[in-house]
Chains A and B, each alone.
Chain A
């Protein structure tokens, strides 16, 4: 299976990582996220809310956010069905496909946004 080999190499080659703070612009809520995992997964694993969680694999767009502050890097392909080049240039991203480099502030713009932010 993918598992066994995957785990061994990932343990051996894991790079040093640190924790940074992700802030949701609309609510001011924040959570700590490792520079080693996606912004979305960091939030979800802690049981935090704010960004809608869907496929966690870049295919469905519900986790779409605009990064308004801070540096990140894209570690996975994002479906162009939902993210155009133009949007990427404006730092609109699928948060399941980016890892933070330092503290980030994000605005939630994906579907289900209403349900979560305007309760």
Chain B
């Protein structure tokens, strides 16, 4: 098995200001599959082609933003090992019992200096994509409902201590740095990290406030589908931030927009395949404008100021 340790982003738990409106949005506009609600009032969703039970949870709260971001690891042994390694690093960890999150095993949770809660788990129920595991069809009716991304792909989180986040993800959890934005004095302003062949599994921006969500991102197969997503957004009066355009950073063809509660989300296609032995690509801060929007080469003011 080539991908070991942390396998992929597993779930994002997002706060919405109105749950029913949030459910309608995530199910019918973004086009995730509705996986039901638990007794705590968290509503569960998965992207149509994901196989594990859920990848997005929303809950009603009086402030928007992100509660936690979780990663699936390859085994219980790995989970135990990361728990020990995090503690040795000096991070306090907490075990959340199996079943606290529906169809999900025990989770090891910790908080970054940035204020973000990150968790690891080894087990989540495989429900498949409705096609079974023998001679599956290439797509399902859900693949055409709403924007209908293939998967929840990554998140960009913001806070003050970028360096600790980088250190933990690289030196404890085994991620590698794919791309970075660096200020003239050498300070890192943004980092894009991978635990796989994807150009990012998680990314961080340096920001004056902690625990902020920049966006949760959803993957589409093609640029055509990104344009279809733009149509669906406008048809549903979804506020769009940037795009459709292409990022210089990671090369994704993208749209940034906001859910009904002001949480930014991204729908994107493309990027490239990265490997752990690749050298990090660097964007000096003066090139952030085209790093962000390669077509327009402009630093959209909202990129560094609007968070939930």
Contact = CB atoms under 8 A, between A and B. Distances in A.
Contacts, number: 89
A55 B258 contact: yes
Given A58-B261, A62-B306, A112-B305, A79 B64 contact: yes
Contacts of B308: 55, 59-60, 79, 81
A2 to B, nearest CB: 5
Interface stretch (B21-29, B38-46, B268-276): B21-29
Contacts of A6: 236
A5 to B, nearest CB: 9
A64 B236 CA distance: 24
A3 B236 contact: yes
Nearest to A41: B239
Contacts of B305: 52, 54, 62, 111-112
Given A79-B17, A80-B62, A80-B63, A2 B262 contact: no
Interface string B125-148: 000000000000000000001100
Contacts of B64: 57-60, 79, 81
A58 B16 CA distance: 10
A48 to B, nearest CB: 16
A115 interface: yes
Interface string A61-94: 0100000000000001111111000000000000
A53 B24 CA distance: 24
A56 interface: yes
A11 interface: no
B63 A57 contact: no
Among B65, B241, B262, max chain A CB count under 10 A is at B262
A8 interface: no
A1 B232 contact: yes
B123 interface: no
Given A57-B239, A59-B263, A77 B18 contact: yes
Nearest to B31: A1
B29 A79 contact: no
Nearest to B17: A77
Contacts of A2: 24-25, 28-29, 236
Nearest to B208: A111
Contact of A54 (B24, B25, B236, B262): B262
A52 B63 CA distance: 20
Contacts of B88: none
B252 to A, nearest CB: 21
Contacts of A79: 17, 62-65, 261-262, 308
A57 B258 contact: yes
Contacts of B17: 57-59, 76-79
A99 B278 CA distance: 52
Interface of A: 1-3, 6, 52-60, 62, 76-82, 111-112, 115
Given A59-B258, A77-B18, A79-B262, 8 more contacts: A2-B28, A6-B236, A58-B262, A59-B64, A59-B263, A62-B302, A76-B17, A79-B308
9 contacts: A1-B232, A2-B28, A57-B17, A57-B260, A58-B64, A59-B17, A76-B17, A81-B64, A82-B63
